[in-house]
Amino acid sequence: MFHITDHIVCFRAHNPSPMTLDGTNCYIVSGRTAAGLTNALLIDVGPDEPAHVAAIAAYLREREWRLQGILLTHTHRDHTDGLESFHRLTAAPVHAFKSGYDHPLRDGDQVALGDRALVVIHSPGHAGDCVCFYDEREGVLFTGDTVLGVGTSVIAPPEGDVSAYLDALQRLKSFPAKVIAPGHGPIITRPRAKLDEYIEHRLMRERQIIAELQSGPKTIADLVAEIYKEVDKSLHRAAAWSVSAHLERLRQAGKVIAEADQWRLR
């Protein structure tokens, strides 16, 4: 566990992998009520890992904080699998953009928390139900898997959408965040530079795909082999998802067409 600010702590689950980096980051945000009590929100519960779930529950119990709710940045399993175990310890309702949870989240909602509130920002791209949360008072933007501490987010079709993602990144820039607290990886202390880097990275991949197709039709595997030749082979599956998400965006823009498994410029 480590502090992001006086009111925000991070619990990192022990589920490292190439996709989850050094584990899923879960955050407790606390606010003081008018009656002088402390309420808390948990952003993502992480995997169903007994030590991780117990550590979060113990932290709240020792301080006698009331867990007001659980907010989900999206519903991929590395962020949600611990919900059931957590439910045995607390009755806190679960808020998510996707239906089927206790409370729906919508873009622009404000989740009140004592003397502060978290703004809900719908940020589809990595998944359709991705949301970010902005704590105005602390200047902290919680991004889930929309922005990661290191590397880039996986955009896998059909759910992943590069155009929606670029719009979301652009919108996130309008929040004057001092810090980004991502779903995986270290805290980001230069939010604007990171968002610009993320946008530029996507546009660069798109330029690379167009440049490759200039020499003739290619399959997704051909494009991955060329564009990601410096990248470890274990990540080529995710790279293929990303290339196909970009091709889909280019197809919708009328710039490329697919014939069987070959893609070419129009």
**Interface contacts to Zn ion, rule CB under 5 A:** 78, 145, 183
Instruction: Give 68 or 73: the residue with its C-beta nearer to Zn ion.
Output: 73
Instruction: Give 78 or 161: the residue with its C-beta nearer to Zn ion.
Output: 78
Strand pairing partners for 264? Answer: 257
In whole angstroms, how close is the CB of 37 to Zn ion at the nearest point?
A: 32
Q: Which of 191, 151, 126 is nearest to 22 (CA)?
A: 151
Instruction: Give 78 or 129: the residue with its C-beta nearer to Zn ion.
Output: 78
In whole angstroms, what is the distance from residue 244 CA to residue 239 CA? 9
Instruction: Give 20 or 68: the residue with its C-beta nearer to Zn ion.
Output: 20
In whole angstroms, what is the distance from residue 22 CA to residue 218 CA? 35
In whole angstroms, what is the distance from residue 95 CA to residue 133 CA? 12
| Interacting residues of 43 by C-beta distance below 8 A, sequence separation 6+ | 26, 27, 28, 29, 70, 71, 72, 73, 133, 142
In whole angstroms, how close is the CB of 21 to Zn ion at the nearest point?
A: 9
In whole angstroms, how close is the CB of 255 to Zn ion at the nearest point?
A: 31
259: three-class secondary structure by DSSP: strand
Q: Which of 235, 227, 218, 178 is nearest to 21 (CA)?
A: 235
Instruction: Give 130 or 243: the residue with its C-beta nearer to Zn ion.
Output: 130
In whole angstroms, how close is the CB of 144 to Zn ion at the nearest point?
A: 7
In whole angstroms, how close is the CB of 15 to Zn ion at the nearest point?
A: 9
In whole angstroms, how close is the CB of 44 to Zn ion at the nearest point?
A: 8
Residue 114: alpha-carbon gap to chain centroid: 25
Residue whose entry in the numeric block shows the structure tokens 């270290």? 186
In whole angstroms, what is the distance from residue 125 CA to residue 123 CA? 7
Instruction: Give 39 or 143: the residue with its C-beta nearer to Zn ion.
Output: 143
